[in-house]
Structure 1
């Protein structure tokens, strides 16, 4: 089995792109600190909306879906899950809530990762919930035409418990001793976790939950207000390509993890930029139409209703639709297309 030694990370010479990404993340983190420290109903609404989007998209990446109406009711605890997909969605919601509310007290350890997996699958009656894989598994990508491609062969079930415990120990030691920049260390840990692939099912979802947990514990709260899972879902091909390239020679300890680090840093930076936009749009005393106006001012070229919804999470869909209609009538924006193909452009 390969070895893991995170103390050697500091020996790596990082290129200017990675250093620029890290600098930019800290820059935008600073710009959003005041916004996220406010106490307001709108900020609470933003947190709830982000949890919903993160739960939906993280499961959708794995093909776990239900109807929009049933999803909303499950998230609001208004109905019980009726099939395997909905039970897995409910479990994901539960562990994400635990991370959001208790991240400071949650350890990074093999046993707690197993506990996370158990909670995520608790409603499915899966006998392997919270247990290490019992068969050799593979990292694959599923294409729209139904074809599947094997990207990577993880380590064996026999080696998995030791490897999982080792990467947790290495991460904790590096973080506690301030040996490595957290924004470098977190992607490396997540990449190793995915290459170990400790579970028969649920590795991708657990990796995204771990990303959120480790970012929180390192003081980066962007995923509480912006769904990083959604950003990953929108760039899924890039995600799998970075994972595949970084996995080459992983078993021989000669992997080049830089593509995966750049990908994750890019996602975090995109999240902070989106949070900065949302902090600009969300203000307590603005009318709905003025909030929509501010959102539109951030858009270049044409935009959709969904684009505005993403920037105005505190507004209801009906308020956004009404505001867009009023702005069309006022001659501030122009509507083109019909149905789902409707786009808007600024006129003023």
Structure 2
């Protein structure tokens, strides 16, 4: 999707092929095939309890429903009666309500979100992980989905909660990208890894990890970040908290 989105149309046969490739290296034999038994959308509560959120369409209804979603999307796009940023969450909501596969529906929905955003010139997913942002707000995701799929079967549902949630995720990704660009601009094109990491550290309130640095300074490799952090600890710009993978860092002037 990252490299060939222009050549991947939003069609049912391509959706099946993406699902096939998604499960290619698993033990599952149903990759690239619609569900053959009924399924449901569940959520796991913080206490471990599993609850059913929604009962999707039955297997015999699924192929036609996916065809209808793809066809309706193309018509809406061509007639331009709704902005793509509003249309895409509606398409993904319908896909999730159909729940066409025995496994991988959530992952497929995020891949299709990425694909449709790319095809409409919103390529933020190349730089910031949309899937990670959704994973980090899973509780809000399930809540929005639950509010928006109510009465979906009789076409009386309200998609606004899910639309607002997805727009919030996209906006958050763009803001994170802007933040990373700002760090790069402050560092300057000829800055060393030490300078770049130092700028990040001085611009950060509270603790941060090596991973945080790497995500915010994508031009740097793991070893460069590690060496820079070590030097910053030595010159007392930052203080190290903990050891090994659990290590965190904080500005020295915070103590």
For 1:338 and 1:102, the matched residues in 2 are separated by 42
> C-alpha root-mean-square deviation of aligned residues, in Å?
2.0
SS at 2:52 equivalent:
strand
Per the TM alignment, residue 135 of structure 1 is displaced from its structure 2 partner at its CA by 0.8
SS at 1:273 equivalent:
helix
1:184 partnered with 2:86: yes
For 2:207 and 2:170, the matched residues in 1 are separated by 25
Match of 1:289 in 2: 194
TM-score w.r.t. structure 2 length?
Answer: 0.90
1:321 partnered with 2:230: no
For 2:38 and 2:61, the matched residues in 1 are separated by 11
Deviating more after overlay: 133-142 vs 283-292:
283-292
Match of 2:39 in 1: 137
SS at 1:198 equivalent:
coil
Contact 2:207/2:248 (CA < 8 Å) preserved in 1?
no
Deviating more after overlay: 323-332 vs 112-121:
323-332
For residue 308 of structure 1, the aligned residue among 202, 208, 213 is 213
Q: Deviations over 1:31-51 (max 9, x none)?
A: xxxxxxxxxxxxxxxxxxxxx
Match of 1:331 in 2: 236
For 1:259 and 1:326, the matched residues in 2 are separated by 47
Q: Deviations over 1:96-154 (max 9, x none)?
A: xxx11111121111111111111212333643221111111001123465432111100
Structure 1: gaps of 5 or more residues: 1-98
For 1:265 and 1:328, the matched residues in 2 are separated by 39
Contact 2:202/2:251 (CA < 8 Å) preserved in 1?
no
For residue 249 of structure 1, the aligned residue among 151, 164, 179 is 151
1:159 partnered with 2:58: no
Per the TM alignment, residue 325 of structure 1 is displaced from its structure 2 partner at its CA by 2.5
1:271 partnered with 2:177: no
Q: Deviations over 1:5-40 (max 9, x none)?
A: xxxxxxxxxxxxxxxxxxxxxxxxxxxxxxxxxxxx
Match of 2:248 in 1: 342
For 1:272 and 1:232, the matched residues in 2 are separated by 14
For 2:86 and 2:141, the matched residues in 1 are separated by 17
TM-score w.r.t. structure 1 length?
Answer: 0.67
For 1:155 and 1:229, the matched residues in 2 are separated by 25
For 1:297 and 1:311, the matched residues in 2 are separated by 13
Pair 1:332–1:126, CA change in 2 (3 A): closer
For 2:175 and 2:59, the matched residues in 1 are separated by 40
Pairs within 5 Å for 1:170-181: 170-181=72-83
Per the TM alignment, residue 338 of structure 1 is displaced from its structure 2 partner at its CA by 4.8
User: How many residues of Structure 1 are paired with residues of Structure 2 in the alignment?
Assistant: 250
Structure number with higher relative contact order (C-alpha < 8 Å, ≥ 6 residues apart) = 1
Pair 1:100–1:125, CA change in 2 (3 A): same
For 1:125 and 1:337, the matched residues in 2 are separated by 39
Pairs within 5 Å for 1:18-167: 99-124=1-26, 126-143=28-45, 145-167=47-69
Contact 1:302/1:346 (CA < 8 Å) preserved in 2?
no
Match of 1:240 in 2: 142
Pair 1:214–1:346, CA change in 2 (3 A): farther
SS at 2:2 equivalent:
helix
